[in-house]
Amino acid sequence: LTSSFPTIEGFTLVLFHPRNPNAPPCLRGWVPWFGAAFQFGAAPLEFIEQARIQYGQIFTVFALGNRYTFVTEEEGIQVFCTSKDADFEQAVQRSVQNAGKTFNFHRLYSMMKGKLSTSNLHLLSGTLCKELHEHMEYLGPEGNEELCDLVRHVMYPAVVNTLFGKGICPTSKNEIKEFEKHFQKYDEDFEYGSQMPECFMRKWSKSKKWLLKVFEKVVSDAERSRPSDSSSRVNLSDFELTSTFYSLILLRLSVLVLLQVAFWTLAFVISQPSIYKIIMEDLVSVYGKAGKEKIDVSEDDLKKLPFIKWCILETIRLRAPGTITKKVINPIKIQNFIIPVGDMLMMSPYWLHRNPKYFPEPEMFKPDRWKEANLEKNAFLDGFMAFGVGTHQCPGRSGFSYVLLCRNVNHISSFCAVTIPTSLPHFLLGSKKHLFRKEPIEILLCPLSPCCRM
C-alpha cells in the first residue's frame, strides 16, 4: 500500500497540476498526458479562436504532455517575432526527432535557401516550363476535369522532376494516386504521429512506413543517376539524403504546400470572372493573342505580370498555415505573464491574416491590396506572416512564388477554364473550417481561342 503512494501522488500532480499565478490561463482537459488533445485535434482553428474569446489574448493548451502557449495580440506577436528567448530551430528539431530520427535542420535549411534563392531561379525556368508543357499535354484539348486532379497530375510530376531529377520520384497517375493517399495522411497527422506511441496512430504509422519504403528506391536511384551538372535541381546527396527519412521530410516541405496553394489560386481566380479577365488581359500584353502552342515563361516576363503574383499572395493570405511555433529557451514576459522554459510558443498566421486592422474585409479575395507591398524587395504587407518570421523565414519563398507563377501562367494561357457552378462549394470564400478542399471543384476546359484574350 505504501509503495502505491508515489504513483497516486504523481497521478494527482499530473491531473491537478497547481497553477502558477504568473502563467497564462491553461486548458488542460481531464485525461492525464493527453490533456486537451482531443478537442484541439478535432478542429484546431476553431479551437484557437474559441480559446482566445474565452480565455483572453494569451493562453496555454496542455496536450500530449506538452504546453502550447498562444499569443494573439500585437505585443505577444512582436515578442514571438523578435525574442531571442524563443527558438524556431529547436521546435522543428524536436518534432522530427520525436519521429525517431536525427535531423540536422540547419544544414537542410541552408541548402534549400541556396538552391531556391532569387539568384538561382533562372536555373529552374527552362526545365520547369518543359515539364509543365509535357504534363499539360496529357490533359487533352477539352473536357471536364476535377480541379484538384488537374493540379496534382500536372504540377506534382513537373515540380518533383525539376527539383529532384526526372524519374527519381513516382510520377505516373496510378503511382501519384496511391502516393497522395499516404502522403496526405502522413502530413495531416504529423504533429500527433511524431509525439504519440504508434499504437495510437496505426494509420499514420502505416503511411509513414509505406512512404519510407518508396523513398528507399528514390534515394538509391538518385545516387545511381546523379548527373555531373546538378545545379538545376536539388542534389539529394548534397545534405546526406542517404537517409530515406530526410528525403521524405524534404518532399513534405517543398512540394505539398505548392500543390495546395496552386489549387486554391486557380479556384479563386477561375470562380471570379472579373479577376480572370484581368489576368487574360495581362497575358495579351506580354505574349499576344492566343495561338502559340507553348509559352516559355522567363523571369523577366513574370516581372510584367504583377497581378498574378498578387493573386498568389492573396491566396496564401487566406489559406495560411494554422500555426507557427518556437520553443521557449529562457523565461519570456508578455504583458503580466511569464512563459516558462520548455513551452512551445505559438502564433497563428491564419487568424492574424483575418485581422481587419491589417487586412480590411479580411474574408474577401482582393488581390489589389497587394499593390501597396514592395515585392521586389520581398517586403510584404504588415501582418502577413505566411512565410514565417525572423531569421528562419521560408528558404524557398522566392522559388515558391516563381514555380506557382509559372504554373498559373502556363495553365491560364493554355486553356479557357470555367467552374461548373453546381460544383463550387459554398466554403470557397471565407472558410474558417476548411484550409484545403473537402469537396470536388469541377471545371470545364476548352481550347483557348483568340477571343479568350481580348
Instruction: Please report the domains of the chain, with CATH numbers, ordered by start residue.
Output: 20-103+324-351 (no CATH), 104-320+353-453 (1.10.630.10)
What is the reported pLDDT for 322? 85
What region does 335 belong to: left with phi over 0, alpha with psi -120 to 50, or beta? left
Q: Is 192 exposed, middle or buried (0-12, 13-18, 19+ CB in 10 A)?
A: middle
Mean pLDDT of the 103-123 span: 63
Q: For residues 427 and 210, which has the higher predicted lDDT (pLDDT)? A: 210
How confident is the model over 7-54, as pLDDT tens digits? Answer: 444 444 444 455 678 899 999 888 888 888 888 877 888 899 999 999
**1-15, 227-241, 319-333: least confident range:** 1-15
Query: Quick one: what percent of the chain has pLDDT higher than 90?
Result: 24
pLDDT above 90 (res 358): yes
The whole-angstrom separation of Cα 118 and Cα 340 is 39
What is the reported pLDDT for 291? 52
DSSP state of 169: S
SS3 for 429?
Answer: coil
The whole-angstrom separation of Cα 275 and Cα 272 is 6
Number of H helices, E strands in the chain: 18, 11
121 pLDDT band, cuts 50/70/90, is low
Which residues touch 347 (CB under 8 Å, ≥6 apart)? 70, 71, 72, 76, 77, 80, 323, 324, 325, 385
**102-111, 171-180, 345-354: least confident range:** 102-111
- Binding-site residues, in ranges, read 394
- Binding-site residues for heme, in ranges, read 394
Q: For residues 261 and 452, which has the higher predicted lDDT (pLDDT)? A: 261
Has this prediction a pTM greater than 0.85? Answer: no
Which residues touch 324 (CB under 8 Å, ≥6 apart)? 88, 346, 347, 348, 349, 385, 388, 389
In the numeric block, the cell 529532384 is attached to: 164
Question: For residue 86, which of 100, 108, 101, 71 has the smallest C-alpha distance?
Answer: 71
What is the reported pLDDT for 42? 78
What is the reported pLDDT for 142? 62
Spatial strand order of the sheet with 26-27 comes to 26-27, 58-63, 66-71, 344-347, 324-328, 86-87
What is the reported pLDDT for 223? 65
What is the bridge-based pairing of β-strands 58-63 and 86-87? unpaired
